[in-house]
Amino acid sequence: MKRLLRLSLATDFVALMTVVLGSWTRINGAGLTCPDWPLCHGRIIPLMTDGTLWEWTHRLLAFMVGPLTIALVAAAWPARRRSPFVGPTLAVIVALFLAQVLLGAATVALGNAPFSVVLHWATAMAFIAALSAMAVFAAASPSAGIAPLHDASGSSARLRFVLLTTATIAFITMCIGAYVSSSGAGLACLSIPQCAGNVIVHTPGEYVQMLHRAAAAATLIFAAAALALAWAGPASGRVRGTAAVGAALVCIQVLLGLLSVTLRLPMELREAHAVNAAFVFLAFFIATVFATLDGMANQPAFPLTPSGARQ
């Protein structure tokens, strides 16, 4: 499982760097500096002018994900019998990778249309989440450092539900934010918390901006609830730690959002806002995975060895 862990982490890291650079490329207006695909201006290595360097490097990183994913499949295939999670997670990784390749080409063909950007971003983040889950399944010991979870009140199940709901809302908020950014609606509402001094909005840009703010508020509320449940109920240290990191990142995200509007969307803050949103989602997703593993480790029907394999 160590080989699977290393490949999962390596693929996860390169995929995350690809997403970060892709976001920076689009924010800098360089998303269409390579108008063709898979080549760039008909060349494997084009002239690195007018932002082409950003787009070409983004594609280079995306290309590197391919061999890493193939190696990951080769390592995970024999390991699927040692864990009930590896097989399904591997199937999700392969499906998302193939979808992402097609969406990358479609995004170029559609000229970075907002909906294509959102689908490209959403699929990339789902792919990264699946890779993160694979790394957890390869490395985490479900029976190590876990508090007893025999709780008749069902608080453990509630915690898993709230963590999953928080991750889902954070994912939706992130996707709405991608649409706001790619559609040019980032400054549609210049006042906070209202939009241009009004509660009722009128234009499509104002509507999607206020929808993003509502989703962000829901993320903040559920993040606080998840953190409270994790520390008040029967949760392992790894669940509490990741929930605390997620809640802290949500607070940072709110601050970055406020500063972005106040300072009229400087590129550095826009990128930080996008990247931090990804980390918020990943933190609560990983916390959900940890909580699920903890719960199964304490169920008699699912005896697990310290390495995470079923006995």
pLDDT in tens, 88-142: 999 999 999 999 988 888 887 777 788 988 999 999 999 999 999 999 999 864 4
Q: What is the pLDDT of residue 196?
A: 62
Token pair 């996707």 is found at 175
pTM to 2 decimal places: 0.87
Q: Which residues contact 67 (CB under 8 A, 6 or more apart)?
A: none
Question: Measured between alpha carbons, how far is 265 from 258 in angstroms, rounded to an integer?
Answer: 10
Q: What is the pLDDT of residue 297?
A: 61
Q: What is the pLDDT of residue 145?
A: 39
Instruction: Report the chain (311 residues): mean pLDDT per 10 consecutive residues.
Output: 91 95 83 81 83 88 94 91 88 95 83 87 96 90 42 70 97 94 82 68 82 94 96 89 97 92 86 94 96 72 44 37
Cα–Cα separations (whole angstroms), residue 270 to 74, 206, 256: 38, 18, 8
Q: What is the pLDDT of residue 92?
A: 97
Three-point CA angle 295, 301, 305, nearest 5°: 70
Tell me the percentage of the chain whose pLDDT exceeds 90: 49
